[in-house]
Amino acid sequence: MKRMTIFLAALCASAAVQAQDVESVLAQIEQNNRNLEAMRHESDAAKLEVRSQNNLEDPSVEYSPFFAHGADGIASSELVVSQGFDFPTLYAARRKAGRLQSEGIEGRYGIARRDILLEAQLLCFEAIRLDRERDLLERRMKSADELLSLFERRLEEGDASALEVNKIRMERMDVAAELSRNVAARTTVMESLCAMNGGRRVSMEGADYPAMPSVGDFDAFRERMLSEELDLQVSEADTRAAQQEVRVNSQNWLPKLEVGYRRNTDMDDAVNGFLVGASFPIFSNRHKAGVAKARYAASQLRTEDVKEQTEARIRSLYSDLEQSAATMRTYDLSLMRSTLELLRRAVESGELSVIEYYVEADGIYSNMLSYVEVENSYYSTLAQIFRNDL
């Protein structure tokens, strides 16, 4: 029974790190990322803080006992209970300003979440690129091993030279070094994903690039990107909040009001009454309207700047995507694979020397690695284009 329990535990542990697609990895990171969880709490705290700015003032209670010569105990006393509040229209204006500020807070959290998930997605894409590079290097290593075995046998039979055998060994050495660098780079990527996932490991073995939306023509693409850009939405929300703050401060001349209850006692007699008062903000609100207007003007300029930067980013990404797609179309993978096979047969049959084989094969392998790089660049550009969809 104990062995069965250990077996089941091992099975569950292996299932926990089984190969995952990019979408499932991002879903896990969104749930487990410590920084993202901390920002959720900070966002909630900031929204509560905004709401607290529109609370009523605290009620005030004052009690004053008076003592007189010849009187036994308290000769008289005064009790005052009062409540101060702003002019009623200010609460409505501040409530609207608070809603707009909360929109900005939620938007900033959305930007932080998007950036974390985009970073994780790009790391996943890098893991996929490294896996494809490793597969190519492993095929190259397998080919070198088979050729080395063949030519070592030929060397013993006198049908090959030591130079040819050494050339194959040099090829194996170079590929082994590339494989070692590949493994180290992938380990770094997976450790970064593990850290982003709250210390929980993920597996990207066999993962592929996810299906991505099509871009279409530039004008429609531009309109969609501008409408979905979170940075621009947050900047516009901040501008609306700043504009509402100007309206709030335009009412600062209204008096603060105070109402209350007063009770005075004198020996056995008691007098009850009401307290009504007003405070006129002649000095306390000086320059506040000017400050609000200056912040509103700055917010408008900032929004214009964000819009211009967004448009420049859109054009740059669209251009990069078109260039990557055009470059990918120039590579014929099936042609390169078949050419490698033909070269392999030629060197094995003696029609081609090892030196000539590697001159041709190195160029083909270099092109195949370039395709892996361009493919990764293409999907990474798509990820940045559609980052607001995460």
Question: Which pLDDT value is given to residue 284?
Answer: 65
Strands, E assignment, the chain: 60-66, 76-85, 256-266, 269-279
| DSSP reduced 3-state for 28 | helix
Q: 């959290």: which residue's tokens?
A: 109
Taking the CA atoms of residue 154, residue 157, residue 159 and residue 165 in that order, the dihedral angle to the nearest 10 degrees is 40
Give the confidence band of 276 by pLDDT, cuts at 50, 70, 90. confident
* Cα–Cα nearest to 237, from 185, 284, 306: 306
Q: What is the mean pLDDT of residues 131-148?
A: 90
Mean pLDDT check: name the lowest of 116-120, 334-338, 356-360.
Answer: 356-360
What distance in Å separates the CA atoms of residue 298 and residue 274, rounded to the nearest whole number? 47
What pLDDT is stored for residue 12 in this prediction?
Answer: 44
Give the integer Cα–Cα distance in Å for 160 and 353: 10
* Of 204 and 367, the one with more pLDDT: 367
Question: 3-class secondary structure for 171-225?
Answer: HHHHHHHHHHHHHHHHHHHHHHHHHHCCCCCCECCCCCCCCCCCCCCHHHHHHHH
- Of 6-10, 100-104, 129-133, 293-297, the least confident: 6-10
Percent of the chain beyond pLDDT 70?
Answer: 93
Asked if pLDDT for residue 68 goes beyond 80, the answer is: no
pLDDT of residue 10: 40
3-class SS at 331? coil
The C-alpha atoms of residue 104 and residue 244 are separated, in whole angstroms, by 13
Residue 124 reports pLDDT greater than 50:
yes
**Range among 5-9, 65-69, 73-77, 241-245 rated most confident:** 241-245
Model confidence over 189-232: pLDDT tens digits? 999 999 999 999 998 888 899 988 888 888 888 998 998 999 99
168/337 Cα distance (integer angstroms) = 20
Stated as kind and residue range, the H or E segment containing 162 is helix 162-196
Q: What is the pLDDT of residue 17?
A: 47
Q: Give the per-residue pLDDT at 5.
A: 42
pLDDT for res 13: 42
How confident is the prediction for the chain on average, in pLDDT? 86
pLDDT at 4: 40
- Backbone dihedral angles phi then psi of residue 78, each to the nearest 5 degrees: -140, 130
Q: What's the whole-number mean pLDDT along residues 314-327?
A: 93
Provide mean pLDDT across the span 21-41: 92
Residue 269 predicted with pLDDT over 60: yes
Percent of the chain with pLDDT over 90: 43
Per-residue pLDDT at 267 exceeds 70: no
* Paired strand residues for 259: 83, 276
> Got the DSSP string for 131-156?
HHHHHHHHHHHHHHHHHHHHHHHHHH
More reliable by pLDDT, 268 or 10: 268
The 3-state secondary structure of 268-297 reads: CEEEEEEEEEEECCCCCCCCHHHHHHHHHH
Report yes or no on whether pTM surpasses 0.75: yes
Q: Pull the structure tokens for residue 385.
A: 């284009």
CA 13, distance to chain mean position in Å, is: 28
